[in-house]
């Protein structure tokens, strides 16, 4: 999955849950990345609901062009479902089957600013570790 992130483009910022497993996942994935993004480990992301995760996104600085969230289900899966309003139909069909541990979703949000993220966007890629 780390190689997949690298191919898609390493984000400017990673928001990571304070859970040890989430941090280990980030550490393992980032080994494959060409460059190191800024990382914020946040206790508020531990088992966060989709609403809490959306609040984090809405509060981001517009200086961050791209963000990766390393979090937990069911919140992260629910957030991706809620924000996926269009995009790649094959990816959307796979997402409807569930959001397993280690899954990666690439969303392109419709607004020009993070505070517009509640309007959702298009699901460009959905991948799981089994792919």
Contact between 72 and 88 (Cβ < 8 Å): no
Question: What is the rounded distance in angstroms from the CA atom of residue 68 to the CA atom of residue 105?
Answer: 9
What's the predicted TM-score (pTM) here? 0.94
Which residue do the tokens 């609403």 mark? 51
Q: What are the pLDDT digits (tens) for 86-116?
A: 999 999 999 999 999 999 999 999 888 999 9
Q: Where are the beta strands (DSSP E) in the chain?
A: 13-17, 38-42, 67-70, 84-87, 104-109, 121-127
Domain locations in the chain?
2-127
DSSP 3-state of 23: helix
Mean pLDDT of 36-42: 97
Report whether pLDDT(123) > 90: yes
The percent of residues in the chain predicted with pLDDT above 70, rounded, is 100
Q: Which of 120, 123, 5, 116 is nearest to 60 (CA)?
A: 116
Mean pLDDT of 46-74: 96
Q: Which of 121, 124, 102, 104 is nearest to 112 (CA)?
A: 121
Q: Which fold has domain 2-127?
A: Rossmann fold (3.40.50)
> Could you tell me the pLDDT band of residue 76, with boundaries at 50, 70 and 90?
very high
Mean pLDDT of 45-68: 96
| pLDDT given for residue 130 in this prediction | 87
């Amino acid at each position: 999955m780390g190689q997949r992130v690298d191919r898609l483009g390493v984000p400017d910022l990673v928001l990571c849950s304070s859970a040890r497993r989430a941090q280990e996942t980030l550490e393992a994935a980032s080994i494959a990345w060409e460059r190191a993004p800024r990382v914020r480990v946040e206790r508020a992301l531990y088992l966060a609901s989709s609403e809490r995760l959306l609040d984090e996104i809405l509060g981001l600085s517009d200086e961050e062009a791209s963000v990766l969230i390393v979090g937990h289900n069911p919140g992260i899966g629910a957030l991706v479902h809620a924000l996926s309003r269009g995009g790649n139909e094959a990816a959307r069909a796979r997402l409807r089957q569930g959001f397993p541990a280690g899954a990666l979703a690439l969303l392109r949000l419709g607004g020009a600013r993070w505070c517009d993220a509640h309007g959702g966007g298009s699901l460009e890629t959905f991948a799981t570790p089994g792919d």
